[in-house]
Amino acid sequence: MITMKIDGRIVQVTEGATVLEAALAAGIKIPTLCNLKDVNKIGACRMCLVEDARSGKLQASCVLPASEGLEVLTATPKVLNARRAVLELILSDHDRSCLTCKRNHHCELQTLSEELGITDIPFQGEHIVKTIDEISPSVVRDNNKCILCRRCVAACEKTQGVCAIGMQNRGFKTQIGSIFGKSLDEVACINCGQCIAACPTGALTEKDATKVVWEALANKDKFVVFQPAPAVRVAIGEEFGMPIGTRCTGKLAAALRRLGADKVFDVDFGADLTIMEEGTELLERIKNGGTLPMITSCSPGWVKFCEHFYPEFLPNLSSCKSPNQMQGAITKTYFAEKNGLDPKNIFVVSVMPCTAKKFEIDRPEMGRDGYRDVDANLTTRELARMIRQAGIDFINLPDESFDEILGDSTGAAVIFGVTGGVMEAALRTVADILTGEDLESLEYHAVRGLDGIKEATVNVNGMDINVAICHGTANAAKLLNSIKAGEKNYHFIEVMGCPGGCVTGGGQPYVDARTRYFVDPRAARAAATYSEDEAFAIRKSHKNPSIKKLYDEFLGAPGSHRSHELLHTHYVDRSKK
């Protein structure tokens, strides 16, 4: 432990910590913009300046190591004036259309301006009109609102291993962009939205789908079906002031109904369906000498990452569509047939924690007969905006249930939203199938947790099944490289494109940099997910009576010809694009 002084207070901190971390741990607030825990620590924005009590020098606390006997001051006139000057310079070249910005009231730059009492901008900025890239189906970049903090660049490079964006030009012409001035849609962007989650301002946002959804709701000829993902219910409450990780399943269903949905289904049903198809595929590959390891295909960001950077592993990907797409396909076939509806008049709206889903729904293979499996994808944030626009009092909504039968699910489905969840749900079913028993053991703790890469060997009925779980595509790259090098051997791998899994997808509620030092949204939302799983009476996908009914009445059996037509897909080698 190191002992130092901050504002005259004795503070002890672990060796290797920065002064910023020491201050935050002691409850002393220091403003930041470029700093983001575990992602970006470069001292570029200079907002976190502190004064050395002995020399009077100003230093960036986010990169200043805490050292024995060091004394710093965080709120002297010298420090405060320097911070204000830095902030005023940033604002001088910033598009200050705050009232019409999607990040209004969720902007870290806006919050700091209020905290530091900025009432005037004395500097006349250059005000160069910069690039707005809105070609991508998932991500919109408005460089007029960019403060060059580089958090998005770090997230793309370090967390995701994609490197689709970087710094360009110099001086006032500096901006973030892709190689040769290309759009994000023209490079190897995987649409994961982690750059959006990292951004402190409105420079990065998701491609808006609220207008098309409002239009569908107003169209009397459209039968509008909403289907939220499992990760949405443990996050949407944050948009309305609830603590991170609050379970809002019943309120979510009620809100969607009040928006005007004709039916409110649940992608958890699609998750249970995925386990049936994916589990069957895994067993067939193991028994019949198929391509191993089999790798999950639920995360569209991960799938696109594989298509761009590891096309040699495309045969390893499960042929299963994601739960979202399966749900849409069944809605427009089985449900439509049962209710005498024309699939072309059904408008399916997915509510996802994910921005890559906006790309996924437009893939050519995700539809048939002139219609798409899913028509629109809203992020959790977009749904929250619609709820506010409709004047719905979310917090005081009663708890309501999803509509039968495509709203029926199990505990295994809800854990799909967290890293390790797909693996655990699959093991619950595969274990029962291999033993021919209804095993009492439900929880596979070896596949849980937030380690970037996890490994386990599960013995089922005398068979050792080697599994691996990773989250964040940079970790996926490490895992795949170890397999290519012959260092690892697995039967089944779960990959989630976003760190922590879907619970911290690129479309989830913003968590500012300061909060991230005290609360890990991955852990808080995951805990809520496991809590919801425990509350279910049925916790295995193959025990879902509505899933059994679907197979009896329509699909026949997992892996059947009809199942393959509707629920399975193929992939594209994008390595040369």
- Based on the fold, state whether residues 481 and 453 are members of the same structural domain: yes
- Based on the fold, state whether residues 131 and 162 are members of the same structural domain: yes
Examine the pLDDT at 171 and tell me if it is beyond 90: no
Domain that includes residue 237, residue range = 218-567
Domain end call among 151, 173, 206? 206
- Based on the fold, state whether residues 83 and 98 are members of the same structural domain: no
Q: What is the pLDDT of residue 472?
A: 97
Gyration radius of the chain's alpha carbons: 25
Domain end call among 165, 185, 206? 206
Place of tokens 């509350």: 535
Angle between helices 380-389 and 210-218 (to 10 degrees): 50
Report d(CA 468, CA 462) in Å as an integer: 19
| Best CA proximity match to 522, nearest among 39, 156, 161 | 39
**What mean pLDDT comes out for the span 103-116?**
96
Read off the DSSP letter of residue 509: P
* Angstrom distances, CA of residue 481 to CA of 8, 77, 239, 422, 520: 50, 53, 39, 22, 29
Residue 65: partners with Cβ closer than 8 Å, 6 or more residues away: 16, 17, 18, 19
Q: How confident is the model at residue 127 (pLDDT cuts 50, 70, 90)?
A: confident
Q: How confident is the model at residue 125 (pLDDT cuts 50, 70, 90)?
A: confident
- Based on the fold, state whether residues 271 and 378 are members of the same structural domain: yes
- Based on the fold, state whether residues 534 and 560 are members of the same structural domain: yes
What is the tens place of the pLDDT at every residue in 394-448?
Answer: 999 999 999 999 999 999 999 999 999 999 999 999 988 888 888 887 788 889 9
| Best CA proximity match to 317, nearest among 348, 353, 281, 287 | 281
CATH no. for residue 61?
A: 3.10.20.740
484 within domain boundaries: yes
What is the tens place of the pLDDT at every residue in 249-279?
Answer: 999 999 999 999 999 999 999 999 999 999 9
519 within domain boundaries: yes
- Based on the fold, state whether residues 85 and 125 are members of the same structural domain: no
Examine the pLDDT at 172 and tell me if it is beyond 90: no
- Based on the fold, state whether residues 252 and 347 are members of the same structural domain: yes
- Based on the fold, state whether residues 62 and 138 are members of the same structural domain: no
213 within domain boundaries: no
Examine the pLDDT at 131 and tell me if it is beyond 90: no
**410 exposed, middle or buried (CB, 10 Å; 0-12, 13-18, 19+)?**
buried
With pLDDT > 70 as the criterion, what percentage of the chain qualifies?
Answer: 100
575 within domain boundaries: no
Which of these ranges, 120-124, 197-201, 442-446, has the smallest mean pLDDT? 442-446
Q: Is 39 in a helix, a strand, or coil?
A: coil
Q: What is the pLDDT of residue 439?
A: 85
- Based on the fold, state whether residues 139 and 71 are members of the same structural domain: no
**What mean pLDDT comes out for the span 557-576?**
95
Residues with catalytic function: 278, 281, 298, 318, 357, 360, 365, 502
What is the number of domains present in the chain?
3
The pLDDT mean for the chain works out to 95
CATH no. for residue 112?
A: 3.30.70.20
CATH no. for residue 438?
A: 3.40.50.1780
- Based on the fold, state whether residues 428 and 540 are members of the same structural domain: yes
576 within domain boundaries: no
Report d(CA 298, CA 326) in Å as an integer: 10
What is the tens place of the pLDDT at every residue in 348-359?
Answer: 999 999 999 999
- Based on the fold, state whether residues 231 and 134 are members of the same structural domain: no
- Based on the fold, state whether residues 189 and 106 are members of the same structural domain: yes
574 within domain boundaries: no
Domain end call among 62, 91, 120? 91
**What mean pLDDT comes out for the span 40-64?**
96
Which tokens belong to 222? 């459209």
Q: What is the pLDDT of residue 577?
A: 63
